[in-house]
Structure 1
Amino acid sequence: MSSLAWIDFDEAERQRAQRIMALFQERETRDELGLGGIRDSIADHLFPGTSTIQTRLRYMLFIPWLFQMLEGSAAGPDQLATEARALENRLANALKAGGESNGIIGRDAGADLQRLPSSVYWAGLGTWGIRLFPGSTDNLFSSMRHLQRNRPRVRESEDAASEAQALQIWTPALPPRPKDILEAARFRLTPDEAQFIIDRLVAQQPRSLLAFLARTGGGTADCRYIWEHPHLADFPGDARSLVGHGEVFSSVMHGASLLYNLLLSEMREKPDWIEEYQSRLQEWREGLDMPAIRAWSLDSFWQAIDHPAHRIRPAAKRFVTEWLALVRSGDVGEGRLTPAARMVQDRERRLKTSQSRFANRAVRDRWTGASGVERLSFRWAQGRSHLRDLADAQ
């Protein structure tokens, strides 16, 4: 019996590092106060495989289809990477030719595109069980010849089924590739393609809210936050509980983000910015559901959001605990010397050290006036977009 192993220092750590690096390019992931691990733990429980820079759902099929077109190539890794980039650029042109305008990755950048669709969707393809190959795109290009050379041989081995599966790049259930994919493509899914994606979600992420909403067709609700969903009461118990935790966490910590922006606005001596954040902080205070906040159990929260892909550091837990105590006491003042202000400044200084906007004037002067000012929504916008694409299949 032969075996196949992917040689890398630590592929899981490599992919985790790539995800972290990618977050710095996502507008909605600005994490000035070190809450990203908590935010992403919740999001990955509710909407696994999504990211804030995904656009349309059919890319989950476009990428496998394009990469399948490379599988017969005898080219080396570098040439395969070049050919893959060319195919992804051609896809953008085909989507424009098909009448699409919104959601095309690379629509304006063309050949200068820095972040290819494959890099945006690669992790999600693995999470949903569409991609079976365990490595990165670079690993795949390096392994392509080995995969092609060994496929015929393993069919005759004693353990042919398991070894053939190990050599698979994509799930065998992948729908067939449209013949005109590089001529005129559309984002609209066919019913068979939509059912395939639903089946993958149910099989690979059965406890996620995304799989539940995909299966029940409940993802078309027009609400800004998942806790405003009209059918929240019908969610599975674990998901409903996590959504409740997410709502309180988002509400409580929003005040810290607003205060952070206010303090910087005052240091920059920007009257318009100061007035804006003072107003928003007052609205935040008035909108707090204090009975729910006082009843919120942090112990239950930490247990509910625990996720193998994310490590939440003790300092982050301590910051949330101390900020929650201030909110419960009603002691979130606006002055620079208040306990709340000191807590926010100390947190950012510890995280950014010499690049802290509170400590480094040059860095502060480059600040454009807004950092993480919206409430955390845990990628509901991306989940809702994908669910609408499922619902619109025809």
Structure 2
Amino acid sequence: MSSLAWIDFDEAERQRAQRITALFQERETRDELGLGAIRDSIADHLFPGTSTIQTRLRYMLFIPWLYRDLEKRDLPEAQLRTQARDAEIRLADALKAGGESNGIIGRDAGPRLQRLPSSVYWAGLGAWGIRVFPGSLDSLFVALRRRGRSHVTSSGEEAMAGAQAPTVWNPALPQMPSGLLERAVFHLTAEEAQFLIDRLVASQPNSLLTMLAREGIDADCDQIWTHPHLAAFPAAARRLVQHGEIFSHLMHGAALLYNLALSELRQRDDWIDTYRERLEAWSDELDLGAVRAWSLDDFWNVVEHPAHAVRPAAKRFVTEWRELVLAGTEQVVTSPAGRQLVEERERRLKTSQSRYANHAVRDRWTGASGAERLSFRWAQAKSHLRDLANAK
């Protein structure tokens, strides 16, 4: 069994490790073929501060409100942590009391809740400039513990170590509504929506999310590349969206072939039939002309993101899969070359946990792993944009 151990590097390394830990818990981050860094680079360029486990936008305000209230209390660290957890759990009950039913984090878990809203939104709060404290949530509790702590110097004078509480939130943060933990709703006020838009404009001026938020554009489309305002996107964003569309569609075939191969190993005729049908539909819908004209050199240039390292092996896999597809999509499904490429990639990534090699792991497989097209967190961005557009 593998695990992640904390290593006491600097704060940036600590936060990076926390992001990796969080990714393992997100349902849509199943990365059987090692494409996660590419997927997340595209998503972070287009929709920074989002994650696949975010639900509703007003959590970007709920968390600062609750913690700003807690920060006023001069309590030991352990008590602050307990009260913070209690407040986040009470928030779920307050949302239910306010008539909300969808998007409540911890709606059914209650005190058993494992992923608190603060951990889900902490990175996004920083990316949007709502949180100005640079550290992790754990380091915030430590900083609050140190405030006002005094010691006596060698000269007998009292000196204050960290007498000032750390600045945590943007000073323009709207005031917390009264009775928030008694009754809460997801609906944003006009003032709250403008604050969030202002933070995006200031912190992520070049992102597509900022442009759509600033212009109040709310569109109900399944994929960002089918957006009705695509032609009006900034040139850089439109270029990345077009790259993302080809990459998503092209590599979907590799994911479907992986699931077909496992279905065959499990000897599940129903799953086999499903994936054969899906691969046939994929082949029919794939625009080979667009794939042939696709510039991988340009793709790797625009995808590059400081938070994600795309390894050479991942680039080789994408390149080799593209070459196989251009040789004929029918052959990808029937010939050994495509299956071998996918199997070798998964075995190299998963080693002893490979579903090809490990019977016990394969027997626990439930019939689908990363079998949907990559959407680069458009669903979460679309939800946030709708919340902004519906503000009153």
Shorter-normalised TM-score: what interval? over 0.9
The amino acid of 1:32's aligned partner reads E
Query: SS at the partner of 2:70?
Result: coil
Give the match for residue 309 of structure 1: 307
Shift of 1:9: 2.2
How far apart are the structure 1 equivalents of 2:268 and 2:322? 29
1:120 aligns with 2:120: yes
Q: Which shifted more, 24-33 or 74-83?
A: 74-83
- Summarize deviations over 1:67-114 as a string: whole Å, max 9, x none: 011112222222211110000011111111111111000000000000
Shift of 1:333: 2.8
How far apart are the structure 2 equivalents of 1:111 and 1:307? 38
Give the match for residue 365 of structure 1: 363
1:14 aligns with 2:14: yes
8 Å CA contact retained: 2:56, 2:384: yes
How far apart are the structure 2 equivalents of 1:323 and 1:12? 35
How far apart are the structure 1 equivalents of 2:280 and 2:379? 26
Query: What pairs up with 1:72-87 in 2 under 5 angstroms?
Result: 72-87=72-87
8 Å CA contact retained: 1:77, 1:138: no
The amino acid of 1:307's aligned partner reads H
Query: SS at the partner of 1:286?
Result: helix
How far apart are the structure 2 equivalents of 1:147 and 1:45? 37
How far apart are the structure 2 equivalents of 1:330 and 1:296? 16
How far apart are the structure 2 equivalents of 1:347 and 1:75? 52
Query: What pairs up with 1:1-394 in 2 under 5 angstroms?
Result: 9-147=9-147, 167-218=166-217, 220-330=218-328, 332-335=331-334, 338-394=336-392
- Summarize deviations over 1:333-368 as a string: whole Å, max 9, x none: 334x61000000000000000000000011000000
How far apart are the structure 2 equivalents of 1:174 and 1:79? 25
Query: SS at the partner of 2:333?
Result: coil
Report the TM-score, using the length of structure 2 for normalisation: 0.93
How far apart are the structure 1 equivalents of 2:224 and 2:41? 15
Distance change (3 Å), C-alpha of 1:201 and 1:109: same
8 Å CA contact retained: 2:325, 2:332: no
Runs of 4+ in 1 over 2 A off after TM superposition: 145-150, 163-167, 331-335
8 Å CA contact retained: 1:264, 1:358: yes
How many residues align? The count is: 373
Q: Which shifted more, 352-361 or 323-332?
A: 323-332
The amino acid of 1:31's aligned partner reads D
Q: Where do 5+ consecutive residues of structure 2 fail to align?
A: 1-7, 151-161
Q: Which shifted more, 288-297 or 20-29?
A: 20-29
The amino acid of 1:365's aligned partner reads D
How far apart are the structure 2 equivalents of 1:246 and 1:147? 47
Give the match for residue 154 of structure 1: none
Query: In angstroms, what is the RMSD of aligned CA positions?
Result: 1.6
- Summarize deviations over 1:152-186 as a string: whole Å, max 9, x none: xxxxxxxxxxx999931000010011111111101
How far apart are the structure 2 equivalents of 1:118 and 1:80? 14
How far apart are the structure 1 equivalents of 2:304 and 2:78? 39
Give the match for residue 160 of structure 1: none
The amino acid of 1:26's aligned partner reads E
The amino acid of 2:232's aligned partner reads D
Distance change (3 Å), C-alpha of 1:166 and 1:147: closer
Query: SS at the partner of 1:135?
Result: coil
Query: SS at the partner of 2:71?
Result: coil
The amino acid of 1:278's aligned partner reads R
Q: Which shifted more, 166-175 or 321-330?
A: 166-175
The amino acid of 1:68's aligned partner reads R
Identical columns (%): 69
How far apart are the structure 1 equivalents of 2:10 and 2:310? 21
8 Å CA contact retained: 2:93, 2:107: yes
Report the TM-score, using the length of structure 1 for normalisation: 0.92
Distance change (3 Å), C-alpha of 1:75 and 1:195: same
Query: SS at the partner of 1:223?
Result: coil
